């Protein structure tokens, strides 16, 4: 079995035991590394005032964790700039928020080249390299020009946009050309894959053949769909155990038999949080029986707080939730509990389990793991209902959810009412089909499917 090298913006903690906060993806990647031996390479999360140093290395068992710091200029241009103020908004269809600047693009190119330069000496000829996400679209091209011949795979965790959106990016062609230096490109959904293929045919003048084969920019590679999953069994077990925990008991006591609607999202404009609060407001207006009887718990850990659009969304969300509470709250009941902090996965799993409704309404989302975690956490006897945006990748697999259009806040309110009043048998049937889907395609299956495809798909060049 060849050694595995994982490259991702942030690297899992260099610990032998599983840190409590670690998500399913980090656990799955670590397990793959443990099985094969290898290197996990990425940014340390530190920003240095001075210039670069050599990577910090930590060995735990057969895994080497290699991390590099960024200097302030590269953090600003590459991370805050091109990755999170250009690619992230654009790939989430927010052309209005995407910033285009030669300076940040140069920073992105610089950091991709620098990472490749630092990674190359750590590689062996027989390694398999798996690069993650939009931060590193240029990495394979950089590695190839330095002479790397290893198998190189790339998985995009976020959506791939439709051609007219991508075409607005001045450097779209450079990015797609660089992506074609990988041997395998993985997308979350067929729709993402079709959009990529559409670009290859119509914009790049390339060919899309059988079995995911792509011929473009003088290169041959494969592009396929690999919908990511969660650590279903572990999360389900955690939810069962957590049900009796102090925190979950405290939550239930505070609810006093009221129904709970739960939302869990990073504070991000792609997650549709304001529309979600407005939909809940519609619910209280249109179906007044819910007043005093339903609580909406929205857990929203802050993220990317130094990007100004994230500061704006936070203010807007605080104002909207405050307005709804001000309008509807009574002295013994508040409709929205808006929490700007994070919880351990164990506590989150328990909160999901005691919720009547999981509310997941992104405007665009590569997959959305929260939707799958909500399903994993339910009890088979008395499962909650998932209300899910059609624009989350997860909607392709979770056909037992009540699928909504997050732009249609009145429609979301109607589905919320349907969820809150759904008979037990219908809830069980819907949940069964969803649980089946998340159990079959869990994060381990996803990982192995990708690595198998990368192993099989030799470079035809």
**Cβ–Cβ under 8 Å, residues 376 and 402:** no
Of the pair 6, 369, the CB lying nearest ligand GDG is at 369
Which tokens in the block code for residue 161? 């946009």
Q: In b/e form, how buried is each residue of 94-117, taking b as 16+ CB within 10 angstroms? A: beebbeeeeebbebbbebbbbbbe
Site pattern 220..239 for ligand GDG (x: CB under 6 A): --------x-----------
Q: What is the CA radius of gyration of the chain?
A: 23
Q: Residue 344, interface with ligand GDG (CB under 6 A)?
A: yes
**Cβ–Cβ under 8 Å, residues 154 and 131:** yes
Which residue reads 């190119």 in tokens? 109
Is 114 tagged catalytic?
Answer: no
Which tokens in the block code for residue 165? 């959106």
- Among positions 3, 151, 219, 345, the unique one binding ligand GDG when judged by CB under 6 A: 345
299: left (phi over 0), alpha (psi -120 to 50) or beta: beta
Q: Residue 442, interface with ligand GDG (CB under 6 A)?
A: no
Task: Give the binding-site size for ligand GDG (rule: CB under 6 A).
Answer: 22
Q: Residue 19, interface with ligand GDG (CB under 6 A)?
A: no
Q: Residue 209, interface with ligand GDG (CB under 6 A)?
A: no
Stretch that binds ligand GDG, among 20-28, 210-218, 290-298, 380-388 (CB under 6 A): 20-28
Q: Write out the binding residues for ligand GDG, residues 353-372 only, by CB under 6 A.
A: 365-370
- Among positions 66, 138, 158, 178, the unique one binding ligand GDG when judged by CB under 6 A: 158
Q: Residue 297, interface with ligand GDG (CB under 6 A)?
A: no
**Distance from the Cα of residue 55 to its chain's centroid:** 27
Q: Among candidates 198, 180, 101, which has minimal Cα distance to 144?
A: 180
**Cβ–Cβ under 8 Å, residues 165 and 95:** yes
Q: Residue 340, interface with ligand GDG (CB under 6 A)?
A: no
**Distance from the Cα of residue 426 to its chain's centroid:** 29
Of the pair 123, 299, the CB lying nearest ligand GDG is at 299
Q: Residue 438, interface with ligand GDG (CB under 6 A)?
A: no
- Among positions 299, 313, 377, 412, the unique one binding ligand GDG when judged by CB under 6 A: 299
d(CA 312, CA 310): 5
Q: Residue 181, interface with ligand GDG (CB under 6 A)?
A: no
Is 76 tagged catalytic?
Answer: no
d(CA 286, CA 148): 61
Which residue reads 């979770």 in tokens? 398
Question: Active-site residue among 127, 231, 365, 442?
Answer: 365
Q: What is the smallest separation between the CB atom of 89 and ligand GDG, expressed in angstroms?
A: 12
Q: Among candidates 13, 40, 41, which has minimal Cα distance to 115?
A: 41
Q: Residue 157, interface with ligand GDG (CB under 6 A)?
A: yes
- Among positions 23, 292, 302, 334, the unique one binding ligand GDG when judged by CB under 6 A: 23
Q: What is the smallest separation between the CB atom of 182 and ligand GDG, expressed in angstroms?
A: 17
Q: Rule CB under 6 A: which residues touch ligand GDG?
A: 21, 23, 25, 157-158, 228, 264, 266, 299, 301, 342-345, 348, 365-370, 373
Question: Any idea which residues carry the catalytic annotation?
Answer: 157, 365
């Amino acid at each position: 079995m060849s050694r595995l090298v994982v490259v991702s913006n942030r690297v899992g903690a260099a610990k032998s035991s599983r840190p409590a906060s670690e998500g399913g993806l980090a656990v799955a990647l670590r397990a793959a590394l443990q099985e094969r031996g290898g290197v996990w390479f990425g940014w340390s999360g530190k920003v240095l005032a001075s210039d670069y140093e050599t990577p910090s290395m930590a060995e735990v068992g057969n895994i080497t964790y290699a991390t590099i710091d960024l200097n302030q200029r590269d953090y600003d241009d590459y991370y805050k700039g091109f990755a999170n103020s250009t690619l992230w908004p654009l790939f989430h269809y927010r052309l209005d928020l995407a910033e285009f600047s030669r300076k940040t693009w140069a920073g992105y190119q610089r950091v991709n080249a620098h990472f490749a330069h630092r990674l190359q000496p750590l590689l062996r000829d027989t390694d398999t390299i798996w690069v993650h996400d939009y931060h590193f679209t240029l990495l394979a091209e950089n590695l190839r020009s330095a002479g790397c011949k290893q198998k190189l795979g790339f998985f995009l965790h976020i959506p791939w946009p439709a051609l007219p959106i991508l075409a607005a990016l001045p450097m779209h062609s450079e990015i797609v050309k660089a992506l074609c230096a990988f041997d395998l490109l993985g997308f979350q959904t067929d729709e993402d894959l079709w959009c990529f293929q559409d670009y290859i045919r119509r914009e790049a003048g390339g060919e899309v053949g059988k079995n995911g084969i792509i011929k473009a920019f003088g290169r041959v590679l494969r592009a396929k769909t690999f919908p990511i999953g969660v650590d279903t069994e572990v999360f389900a077990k955690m939810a069962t155990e957590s049900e009796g925990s102090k925190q979950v008991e405290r939550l239930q006591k505070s609810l006093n038999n009221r129904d709970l609607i739960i939302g869990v999202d990073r504070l991000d404009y792609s997650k549709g949080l304001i529309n979600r609060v407005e939909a809940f407001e519609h619910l209280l207006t249109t179906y007044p029986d819910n007043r005093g009887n339903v609580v909406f718990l929205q857990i929203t850990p802050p993220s990317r707080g130094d990007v100004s659009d994230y500061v704006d969304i936070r203010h807007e969300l605080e104002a909207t939730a405050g307005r709804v509470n001000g309008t509807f709250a009574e002295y013994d009941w508040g409709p929205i509990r808006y929490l700007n902090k994070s919880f351990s996965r164990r506590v989150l799993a328990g909160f999901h389990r005691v919720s009547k409704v999981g509310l997941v309404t992104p405007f665009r989302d590569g997959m959305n793991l929260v939707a799958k975690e909500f399903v994993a956490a339910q009890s088979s006897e008395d499962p909650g209902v998932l209300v899910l945006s059609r624009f989350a990748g997860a909607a392709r697999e979770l056909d037992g959810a009540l699928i909504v259009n997050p732009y249609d806040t009145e429609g979301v309110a109607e589905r919320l009412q349907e969820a809150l009043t759904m008979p037990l048998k219908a809830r069980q049937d819907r949940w069964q089909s969803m649980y089946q889907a998340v159990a079959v395609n869990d994060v381990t299956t996803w990982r192995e499917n990708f690595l198998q495809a990368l192993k099989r798909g030799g470079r035809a060049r």
